[in-house]
Amino acid sequence: MEGVVCPAGTFCQVEARPNWYPFDVSYIDRGRCLPFAPPGGACDVPFEGTTSFPRKADGHFFDRSTLCDGKHTCTGEHVFVMPPTCVQSRDPQLGCISTQRNGCAGRPSLNECPLGLGGADDFCFLPTESDPVRNRMTRTKLEQCASVLTSFNGPNFAFRLPDGGLPDDTNFPSGNTQNVTKLELARGAQFAGSVQAMLQALWPYPVCSPRGQSDCTTFPLPVPARDPDGGLNASLGCLKPPYRHTDNVNCSTNTSVDLSFLSLNSGNGVIDYHCTWAVLHTLSFNGGAVLTAAEKRAFGELVMYISGQFDCKVCRNNFVEIIRHFGLPTGSVREEYARWLWQAHNNANEHSYATHSINVNMAANEYPGQDAFKHTRTPEWSHPKHEHPWYMTFERAASVWTGLERGVSGV
């Protein structure tokens, strides 16, 4: 029987159903070409139930993950707070975790844009076909980002009223305002020692023993100090154990990890976002298929650490909600942890300003003669369109993060 190729923009729906004639036990195969759901349209799993056919060799049914075309993905599997709809899928070949090169969406000022050296680039991790040095996570990049993770101390600041009290919902009568003073962030990193142990248990590169060897990572990693607002800058130096005081040292002391890249970020915190997900994805996608007891414990502790200490309070609370919905990752199969973090990242991105906000170039065209940056941060509820989608299928995420680059500069 000769098959039929469906036209572009459509997919072939094939389903077997019992013959309506009650005395004939045969089945009739019906196929038809149907258009993919449009962007924003509903997506569903069409092949379900006992009438699905044909089956795989193991007896399970074939299914289609979405009714979206190849450039879109279905939020039903990715984002639990949204109904299943087709949204644009992030192309891993774009090469960067940040929203847009030279676009800067969702940021209120130029100083907060994720600009890199010379303002022409940003700190990229994802693969690009044109740049082989960036086509996989390198040991240098992973060491740099893991160092950033060790320094989280997010909740340790507060606001104080003029009378010395702390503000809460009962302090201010409706319609009144009061001045508050933001307290300095404690400059320690109280969990840095524990985080070092978590990272070392999950580290995908060889660990140096003793110190001084090449092509391996030396623990403990340097813990960069932060300013009173939690910002990062290489000029602040690094903390010495037990990481609770301000007796800073040169970050290069007794380590080969170069943290000079923090200066490119001007202490604005963007590197925190990049590095957090880069480390979590790299550790979860690389290593043995079956986790040891120590690795399982380290993954659980690392997820809880991010939810409790991440410097971005919105991100931190969002992570808590993700844990509340999905529960903590469990089991001994590495892929389960990679899938959990992939789902967590897609859900976190749905709540980011950049996903729904226009970039500075679009704002400049829409609001000529005004400060374009003031119009880039748009609450998602007033602008539900996905201007800069981050959503990535698990298969694409696996292609990005599985495998570590070796044999090139920076490994």
Decide which of 45 and 348 is more confident. Answer: 348
| Mean pLDDT over each residue of the chain, to the nearest integer | 76
Least confident piece of the model among 61-75, 219-233, 274-288, 311-325: 61-75
Least confident piece of the model among 19-33, 89-103, 109-123: 109-123
- The reported pLDDT for the residue numbered 132 is 47
Task: Return phi, psi of residue 61, to 5°.
Answer: -80, 145
- The reported pLDDT for the residue numbered 121 is 47
Task: Tell whether the model's pLDDT for residue 129 goes beyond 50.
Answer: no
Q: What is the mean pLDDT of residues 111-118?
A: 53
Task: Tell whether the model's pLDDT for residue 55 goes beyond 70.
Answer: no
| Model confidence band, residue 269 (pLDDT cutoffs 50, 70, 90) | very low
- The reported pLDDT for the residue numbered 336 is 94
Q: What is the mean pLDDT of residues 130-146?
A: 72
Contacts of 246 (CB under 8 A, 6+ apart): 187, 188, 225, 239
Least confident piece of the model among 1-15, 62-76, 88-102, 152-166: 88-102
- Residue 131 to residues 94, 124, 408, Cα–Cα distance (Å): 11, 11, 11
Q: Alpha-carbon distance 112 to 322, whole Å?
A: 26
Q: Alpha-carbon distance 261 to 277, whole Å?
A: 18
Decide which of 101 and 60 is more confident. Answer: 60
- 3-state SS record for the chain: CCCCCCCCCEEEEEEEEECCCCCCCCEEEEEEEEECCCCCCECCCCCCCCCCCCECCCCCECCCCCCCCCCEEEHHHHCCCCCCEEEECCCHHHCCCCCCCCCCCCCCCHHHCCCCHHHCCCCCCCCECCEHHHCCECHHHHHHHHHHHHCCCCCCCCEECCCCCCCCCCCCCCCCCCCCEECCCCCCCCCHHHHHHHHHHHCCCCECCCCCCCCCECCCCCEECECCCCCECHHHCEECCCCCCCCCECCCCCCCCCCHHHHHHCCCCHHHHHHHHHHHHHHHHCCCCECCHHHHHHHHHHHHHHHHHCCCHHHHHHHHHHHHHHCCCCCCEHHHHHHHHHHHHHHHHHCCHHHHCCCHHHHHHHCCCCCHHHHCCCCCCCCCCCCCCCCCCHHHHHHHHCCECCCCCCC
Residues forming a β-bridge with 404: 137
Task: Tell whether the model's pLDDT for residue 410 goes beyond 50.
Answer: no
For the stretch 339-363, pLDDT in tens is: 999 988 888 888 777 788 888 888 8
Q: What is the dihedral of CA 115, 116, 118, 119, to 10 degrees?
A: -10
- The reported pLDDT for the residue numbered 145 is 87
For the stretch 162-212, pLDDT in tens is: 887 777 766 666 777 778 888 777 667 889 999 999 999 999 999 986 655
- The reported pLDDT for the residue numbered 51 is 46
User: Any idea how long the chain is?
Assistant: 411
Highest mean pLDDT among 47-56, 225-234, 327-336: 327-336
What the block records as the tokens of 117 is 């050296």
Walk me through the domains of the chain, giving residue ranges and CATH numbers.
Answer: 1-89 (no CATH), 123-156+191-352+390-401 (1.20.120.310)
- The reported pLDDT for the residue numbered 128 is 46
Q: What is the mean pLDDT of residues 287-305?
A: 95
Task: Tell whether the model's pLDDT for residue 266 goes beyond 60.
Answer: no
